[in-house]
Chain A
Amino acid sequence: MKLSKDKVRHVAKLANLPLTSEEEEKYSEQLSKILDYTDQLSKADTEKVEPTYNVSGLTNIMAKDEVSESLPQEDATKNGTNIKDGFFVTKGVFNYE
């Protein structure tokens, strides 16, 4: 399948991935080639086959509902680039800032 440059731009937006114009060009070409290769999956007869998403053999694993230690605020925020009063500073969601 061909992934046009426009399509690449759309996917990059969905992925919140800033790409340069050269990258859009390059990924259009490379991803088209990779999707051509993966198109062979259509030859596999999967009409009556259920999908597999997990191979651990486990189901319905619940954690105990109990209080346990967690990271102190200072440790949890120490890798943030913009910390104010012990909180992460983020971009304004509604652009009111």
Chain B
Amino acid sequence: MTDITSLTLTQTLAALKDKKLSKEELNKAYLERIKKLNPSLNAFLFVNEDSGEIPVAIKDLISVKDMPMTCGSKILENYIPPYNATVIDRLASQGVSFCGKTNLDEFAMGSSGENSAYGPAKNPWNLVKVPGGSSSGSAVAVAADMAVFALGTDTGGSIRQPASLCGVVGLKPSYGRVSRYGAQAMASSLDQIGPITKSVADARLVLEWISGGGGHDSNCHAKPFVTLSETKGIYSSASPQNDRMLKEIKVGVPKEYFGKGLDSEVEKVIRDAIKKLGDLGAEIVEVALPHTEYAVAAYYIIMASEVSANLARYDGIRFGKNRDQFGDEAKRRIMLGTFSLSSGYYDAYFTKAARVRTLIKKDFDIAFEKCDVIVGPVSPTVAWNLGGKINDPLTMYLSDAYTIPGSLTGIPGLSVPCGFADGMPVGLQILGKHMDEETVLNVGEIYENVTDWKDKKPNMSS
């Protein structure tokens, strides 16, 4: 069998079942590819050569027992987790093994991958470009076919944005969908674990595998995600001949996601994708999210406050090195958060931001009365040059303007490849109602199957 590493998860499972492929061949093919490509892409911080099942890459802030975990930080340079995260146990019970731990912005704080203490991962579509962040290595590993799929985490866009910038599928599940036990907490009211995959069908399957309670995360709903039996299989049959499949879906388009700051080439690609959804029978309706302009500001106060509390655990006693080993962005956010929570400023900053969060959430509640999903760009631009924004934190923060509102609201969001601008991939963001991944995935899967964007791969031969 040729081209083993370009198979999606669902295709890989089928090939294994039909005995067209053995697990040995599968792991050999992926390991060879990792060894060939990782020196130039820096997607993996640790490679496990003993992966014997379906080889999957794990963002290096999710604990895999006895495998080193750095969180992209010098502070955890020699740390080895003594237990598995819940998602790791769940995947292992589905016949998954772990081919390596992927690069990331330190403690998942960044939008470019450049805040890693171990050097940035590179975008496989163009090695001088950032892959996005913070799940940089996970998106690169999937885009360059170095893993069947990967897990990332998304706090303000850290799954969706690198997936968009690398041309792969990324799903941030609803807040409360997946247990985070065993993942280093960044901002606890926002963090979610989710899949980065080669197809929407794969993301659906991985969500079924990893979701559900019982994993020591009291914010996680007990019931796992299960695709409705009556729709199972229907959406994967979508084809250009099989049109009007979205005729019962209302797609909301917020004008706030098409304003100042959105690159005109990216806008054109997104508008074409929305037109395609209309051609498939969806009713396109305009919706308003009037408090979008406050989202980044509210997010940075809330997130940094929670970061400062979560990173207080690094005391250099039980595990990890001393606090002077934190990188630049980690220190900046600890400072911003500590200030926002400090006496005399708490109400004006932290509580105020939490009130604005309510307004942003209400925007979505009202908008979803008129539609089933909300679509727009994931990122205002395609991948930018390495080094391009690293000295200007505020500009970097603003690159998450379209993913942050969904994070504050706790709703699911999917990035699906929908074209190219300046030769770099663009992702369509599909946001849904809380706990309604079903509709989000259905829309994404139909769109994916009637277009051929998922067949486009970066040229890694040179």
Contacts and interface: CB of A to CB of B under 8 A. Distances in A.
Interface of A: 3, 7-8, 11-12, 14-19, 23, 27, 30-31, 33-35, 37-38, 40-44, 46, 49-58, 61, 63, 71, 75-82, 88-90
A31 B336 contact: yes
Question: Across chains A and B, which 5 residue pairs bring their CB atoms closest together, nearest first?
Answer: A55-B410, A51-B354, A79-B319, A56-B176, A46-B355
A79 B342 contact: no
Given A15-B338, A17-B334, A34-B336, A55 B319 contact: no
Given A30-B332, A52-B358, A88 B317 contact: yes
A58 to B, nearest CB: 6
B334 A80 contact: no
Contacts of A41: 294, 297-298, 301, 352-353, 356
B393 A23 contact: no
Nearest to B337: A15
A2 to B, nearest CB: 12
A41 B408 CA distance: 15
Contact of B339 (A3, A37, A80): A3
Given A17-B323, A41-B353, 14 more contacts: A14-B342, A15-B338, A31-B336, A34-B300, A34-B336, A40-B293, A44-B294, A49-B355, A52-B358, A52-B361, A56-B176, A79-B79, A79-B320, A88-B317
B349 interface: yes
A51 B316 CA distance: 34
Contacts of B301: 38, 41
B8 to A, nearest CB: 31
B351 A15 contact: no
Contacts of B189: 53-55
A63 B317 CA distance: 28
B1 interface: no
Interface residues of B, number: 60
Contacts of B397: 34
Given A19-B331, A30-B393, A38-B297, A46 B359 contact: yes
A40 B354 contact: no
B339 A50 contact: no
B70 interface: no
B298 A12 contact: no
A32 B353 CA distance: 17
Contacts of A50: 355, 358
B399 to A, nearest CB: 14
Interface string B75-108: 0001110110000000000000000000000000
Give the secondary structure class of A's interface. loop
B219 A15 contact: no
B221 interface: yes
B335 A15 contact: yes
B352 to A, nearest CB: 5
A19 B296 CA distance: 27
B9 to A, nearest CB: 28
A61 B301 CA distance: 27
Contacts of A88: 317-318
Nearest to B398: A37
Given A16-B323, A71-B82, A88-B318, A38 B349 contact: yes
A17 B331 contact: yes
A90 B324 CA distance: 17
A53 B354 contact: yes
A36 to B, nearest CB: 9
B291 interface: yes
B393 A34 contact: yes
Contacts of B356: 41, 44, 46, 49
B357 interface: yes
A44 B352 CA distance: 9
A61 B221 CA distance: 10
A80 B353 contact: no
